[in-house]
Amino acid sequence: MFRRTVAIITLAAFLVFTWSCFHETGLSKSPEDVRKLRAGQPTIYGVVLTSGLEVRFPHPSDIRFTGDFLLASKERPTPYYFDLVIPKEEVKSTDRDADGNVHFILTRDGKAYDVRSSKESDTQWTIEGKAYDLVVPFSDVEIIRIERLDPVMTSVMVLGAAIAVGVLIAALTYQPPPPPPTTSQHSCPFIYSYDGAEYIFDAEPYGGAIAEGVKRTEWCGLPYLKEVGGEYKIMIANEGDETEYTDELKLLVVDHPAGVGAVADEQGRVHTLTHPCPPVKAADGRGRDILPLVGRTDGSFWITKAEEKNPDRKEDLRDELLFEFSKPAGARTAKLVFNGCSTLWASQMIKRFLELYGTNVEKRYEALRVPGPAQAWRDSFNEREELYRLRLQVDTPAGWVTKGLIVGGGPFVSKDRVYLLDLADVPGDVLKIKLCPPAEFWMINSLAVDYDADLPVQVHELEATRAVDDAGHDIRPALTSADGRYFAMPLKGDRAELTFRAPAHAPGMERSVILKANGYYDIHLRAEGPPQNDTLLRFALEPGFVVQYSFREFLKWRAETYQALRKLN
């Protein structure tokens, strides 16, 4: 099994009360990974369980590997080993090293001891050990989160079901709303970039494209991708409970002036960012300063404060975020750089919405497979409710005017997206922008505005010189153009590797690489029960009801999760 190293989503994305901007890596739990971790003893901040539950450790520097377990403590353990006598009737299990020495003891009351030396009698163990009260079996761990000193913050997927009681209790210490354990995680294809040493999770294109009729092309920057031996290598993988269909997969290699960024818009046009300026002011609807969260791309996200909201109050169903930017005199156009994404809950709600159709869900899919009224209604509904397309409003003498729609994308990678703004009707030296995200659907990393004209760049669009799936089949013909010939990945774990020949660098220029991907995905659903037509009709006829319904579901799920955890305490 190859090693998948990824930069993980900041803890702020799903914490209710706190914010964080750790630079970390999520390490998939293969035998090779575990051996490397045991040898290196890195700083481990937490784990993602096979249930999808994320658990943070209060004292990451004190985590220990012992046998087939990770050991941690709710309170900081003593820094030294001490002598202890443990009656054998209190011992649940022990583990021995290759020489037969006991180095781990687990007691029936949930305590674990990292054993440095031991002596066994018929009735007891006499040990020199250190005590821990959180025991995490490797069999229940999907992702191990370790510190990684890397300036780029991206996100990692949270995967799949159950953990030892001690770890569940530990989750109460952090109060992160974990992904729903009753539904499978899903997203869209995961793109891993080869940086010369390993494949790193780097992009997840066309999130929300859940039917062929709404497939789209997306352009995503690949900051981790490095040229190695004159080639670029990427891997596309299905990491969810869905079938993924990729119609086109290429690279845009952009040579641009040094010190300048290069980002593609929704049409694939490449724009340069010379002087992106952060907001001078940013505040939420209560007047609180949110500039520390959205002033720069640093991994700290603004997200709805659910504990302050009541789903029965209409004014609580949306947030209002106001941003002010300095504006040069006479500026008539600008490039808005938005870095943000949908939340994990928003991703989950796609499946929950579809399940409301019950046994009629296939009819719903069929209506979305070709252009027509169903697609037109979907687009207008999305613009009205802003669940997955956020209206970009600009203050003008005529009031707030919508200047564009921001695409949310998948929940695990937050990428820069650029939107062109017409400012001909915006006088003065201040540009004011307003966003009104529905509760618990969006997380925002940063906004910036660039008023400079685009600089000349050289763009090379590359087709793969080699593309093979798990079985070694050549899949290049399916990926050369968006022509309806798909490379399909029906199973979780399906993947393919692609190689591209790097063109010669333009003299004196820096290089950025952008992924061009077209496709869609089909979520695996269990179409059960009659359609919930009353609820679906209210979605259509009552503006805001879908947000209220979703927020109530979020609060209900969170309360049920914590209640279940407390019963185990």
Give 321-361 pLDDT, tens digit per residue: 999 999 998 899 999 999 998 888 888 888 889 899 998 88
Instruction: Give yes or no: residues 229 and 194 share one domain.
Output: yes
Q: What is residue 50's predicted lDDT score, i.e. its pLDDT?
A: 59
Instruction: Give yes or no: residues 421 and 540 share one domain.
Output: yes
529 within some domain: no
- 67-70: list long-range contacts, CB under 8 Å, 24+ apart: 67/95, 67/103, 67/104, 68/95, 68/137, 68/138, 68/139, 69/95, 69/104, 69/106, 69/112, 69/135, 69/136, 69/137, 69/138, 70/44, 70/135, 70/136, 70/138, 70/141, 70/144
Instruction: Give yes or no: residues 26 and 149 share one domain.
Output: yes
Q: What is residue 77's predicted lDDT score, i.e. its pLDDT?
A: 55
**Residue 392, Cα to own-chain centre: how many angstroms?**
23
Last residue of a domain, one of 147, 174, 201: 174
Say if CB 406 and CB 445 are below 8 A apart.
no
270 within some domain: no
**Verdict on whether the full-model pTM lies above 0.85:** no
Phi, psi of 344, deg, nearest 5: -60, -35
Rounded Cα distance, 480 and 496, in Å = 15
Q: What is residue 127's predicted lDDT score, i.e. its pLDDT?
A: 86
Q: Could you list the mean pLDDT of each consecutive 10-residue stretch along the chain, which spans 569 residues?
A: 32 30 47 54 64 61 67 63 84 81 81 84 86 73 57 33 31 31 56 92 88 89 95 94 94 96 95 96 95 87 90 95 95 96 86 89 79 75 92 97 90 90 96 97 95 97 96 96 94 94 95 96 84 91 95 86 58
479 within some domain: yes
Write out pLDDT tens, residues 81-121: 778 888 988 888 888 877 788 888 888 877 788 888 888 88
269 within some domain: no
Say if CB 1 and CB 36 are below 8 A apart.
no
Instruction: Give yes or no: residues 358 and 234 share one domain.
Output: no
CATH of the domain at 393: 2.60.120.260
Last residue of a domain, one of 114, 148, 174: 174
Instruction: Give yes or no: residues 469 and 436 share one domain.
Output: no
Phi/psi region, residue 190 (left: phi>0; alpha: psi -120 to 50; beta: rest), is beta
Instruction: Give yes or no: residues 145 and 215 share one domain.
Output: no
Instruction: Give yes or no: residues 506 and 542 share one domain.
Output: no
Instruction: Give yes or no: residues 212 and 235 share one domain.
Output: yes
Residue burial 252-261, b: 16+ Cβ < 10 Å; e: rest = bbbbbeeebb
Q: What is residue 79's predicted lDDT score, i.e. its pLDDT?
A: 56
- Give the count of domains, the chain: 3
Q: What is residue 60's predicted lDDT score, i.e. its pLDDT?
A: 61
Instruction: Give yes or no: residues 475 and 551 share one domain.
Output: no
148 is in which domain, residue-wise?
4-174
